Amino acid sequence: MSVNLATLLREGTKKSHSMAENVGFVKCFLKGVVEKNSYRKLVANLYFVYWAMEEEMEKLKGHPIVEKIYFPELNRKQALEQDLYYYYGPNWRNEIKLSPAGAAYVNRIHEIGATAPELLVAHSYTRYLGDLSGGQILKKIAQNAMNLDSEGTAFYEFKDISDEKAFKNSYRQSLDELDVTTEDAERIVEEANAAFAMNMKLFQELEGNLIKAIGVMLFNTLTRRRTPGSTELATAE
């Protein structure tokens, strides 16, 4: 049987989606406050997450459920490698590391790949549909906030998808055509909410670094010695 899984996922994750958008790191990002060191740590974690997800989906592309939402043109691993080269340099593979929240996320993806492949639908939906929906907006915010030109934002570029809106509609149709039971659909929605929670933990790990960086920038601004003809605040003598 088939269920309207796309609608169930959209309605069933509204609260989680809203909660994720209200995490401090995300709120700052959306307001154009992006600190490069925190951002590159996020990119590093996402690299491991997408590597795990795409590895499992490639391995399971013959699975009757996974095959329906297996679209290699969505893959982000190579794009993230380009960004990591930009932020960390040619030795990036030895520079990046997985955070505790990132490790839990990656472990969960491998766990369901081995025990419940149908739940990979939840992770694909949560990550890729979000990337396609807000990617261009986030790309512009990152470029403006970090003074980037054409590098550092490959993650948001889907070069193999010419019409993102049409692709999203096709993807949702594929979700609705999945041969899953009502019980399976409920489990997928539950897993999607868990995926949102795991993403939130990634963001929350970075908040301390971001707050510290903002504090340093404010301190440097407030204590900068006034130069002749300048309106900047002077340091205390």
Position 231 in a domain: no
Position 218 in a domain: no
Answer for the pair 135, 158: CB distance below 8 angstroms, yes or no.
yes
Instruction: Give the separation between CA 155 and CA 149, rounded to whole angstroms.
Output: 14
pLDDT in tens, 113-138: 999 999 999 999 999 999 998 888 89
The CATH number that applies at residue 89 is 1.20.910.10
197-201, 215-219, 226-230 — which one is most confidently predicted on average?
197-201
pLDDT in tens, 70-127: 999 999 999 999 999 999 999 999 999 999 999 999 999 999 999 999 999 999 999 9
* pTM (predicted TM-score): 0.87
pLDDT of residue 150: 86
Instruction: Give the separation between CA 176 and CA 195, rounded to whole angstroms.
Output: 20
Domain extent at residue 169: 5-212
Domain total in the chain:
1
Position 233 in a domain: no
